[in-house]
Amino acid sequence: MIPQAGTASQHSPLRFLDPAVLSRIGSLELVARTVVEGFISGLHRSPFLGFSVDFAQYRQYIEGDDIRQIDWKVFARSDRHYVKQYEGETSTNVYLLLDISGSMAYRSDSVTKMDYARYLTASLAYFAQRQRDRAGLTTFAAGLVDKLPPRCRREHLLSLLHLIDKARAESATAFGKPLRALAETIRRRGIVVLVSDLYAPTGEILESIRQFRFQGNDVIVIQILDPQEQRFDFSDSVQMVDMETRRRLVMDPALVRADYLARLESHQQEIRNLCGALGVDFMVLDTSQPLDRALYRYISTRQKSM
């Protein structure tokens, strides 16, 4: 069951999910904690749900927990509310795949796609750690850049956040080689979250996703786009420089706009269709949107995987 979300108004806790606000926070850990705790406090119910026969630990009841999970015997003994947690809820591996190719450095406003992807990945890692999932991280561009296997410990989260923090957008994008290398190392199925602008041939992208899917993983594909990439409303003649290939093109945006938008839409539609066929969640986020949509989708997938 997916909890209901509040709106990211000025006085809502979800305002902390606004990327523009987050960009002013220096520490990535703090960003992740702000996002996740703000997200959780905005929910009517706790997202940490699950049922398993393997008891793991007691945890103090927090507002929003289902009262059915309260251990009344413990309450009778200690006059305090505790809920039981089970092994099944914390045993999922979360593989976060972060695209750090050159195109991710684009921004038309205060937040680059890279920053947005960084906040999102950090938040997902924090969220996973919060519910005792094992989170791992792989950064890639033209090849595999960094890799951290899934772990559940607090120190691991810090390492993971550090890795996210030091990631810098570079070179071109290639999905095939780095993701194939990652797929070969996955021994236990889990949730694979791919965060990228997906500026690569659809065949290459889907070939990689298909591998993860065949291994029994749940896959979430999150495409990060800048609002300007979706509008393409430059007003005057420009010389455009490709941030990955440095290719230059003089054009009049008004003349190419319709064609550009059609081709982008076609690219997204193709990915959406094939993801649908593979049972993969596909979502498009733009950098002006709060991060909660991605967290909802993650929770949803997380529940499905249990």
- Binding interface with another protein (CB under 8 A): 103-106, 113, 197, 199, 226, 229, 233-245, 247, 249-252, 254-256, 259-260, 263-264, 267
Minimum distance between the CB of residue 4 and another protein, rounded to whole angstroms? Answer: 34
Q: Closer to another protein at the Cβ: 160 or 200?
A: 200
Minimum distance between the CB of residue 51 and another protein, rounded to whole angstroms? Answer: 44
Provide the token pair at 162: 């550090």
The SS3 of residue 228 is: helix
Contact in structure between 288 and 19 (CB atoms under 8 Å): yes
Residue in the structure block whose two tokens are 């997902």: 124
Strands (E), 22-152: 55-60, 82-86, 93-99, 134-140, 144-151
Q: Closer to another protein at the Cβ: 243 or 283?
A: 243
Provide the token pair at 302: 């997380």
Minimum distance between the CB of residue 182 and another protein, rounded to whole angstroms? Answer: 23
- β-pair partners for 285: 224
Minimum distance between the CB of residue 101 and another protein, rounded to whole angstroms? Answer: 9
Q: Closer to another protein at the Cβ: 79 or 236?
A: 236
Cα dihedral 19/21/23/25 (nearest 10): -130
Query: Taken in order 13, 162, 215, 114, is the CA torsion positive or negative?
Result: positive
Query: Taken in order 97, 155, 69, 51, is the CA torsion positive or negative?
Result: positive
Rounded distance, CA 221 to CA 219, Å? 6
Residue in the structure block whose two tokens are 């996955």: 186
Q: Closer to another protein at the Cβ: 99 or 218?
A: 99
Query: Taken in order 75, 80, 81, 82, is the CA torsion positive or negative?
Result: negative
Query: What amino acid occupies position 283?
Result: M
Minimum distance between the CB of residue 223 and another protein, rounded to whole angstroms? Answer: 12
Q: Closer to another protein at the Cβ: 215 or 228?
A: 228
Minimum distance between the CB of residue 104 and another protein, rounded to whole angstroms? Answer: 8
Q: Closer to another protein at the Cβ: 160 or 274?
A: 274
Q: Closer to another protein at the Cβ: 151 or 267?
A: 267
Q: Closer to another protein at the Cβ: 56 or 172?
A: 172
Rounded distance, CA 206 to CA 142, Å? 16
Query: What amino acid occupies position 118?
Result: R
Rounded distance, CA 79 to CA 90, Å? 27
Minimum distance between the CB of residue 295 and another protein, rounded to whole angstroms? Answer: 25
Minimum distance between the CB of residue 221 and another protein, rounded to whole angstroms? Answer: 17
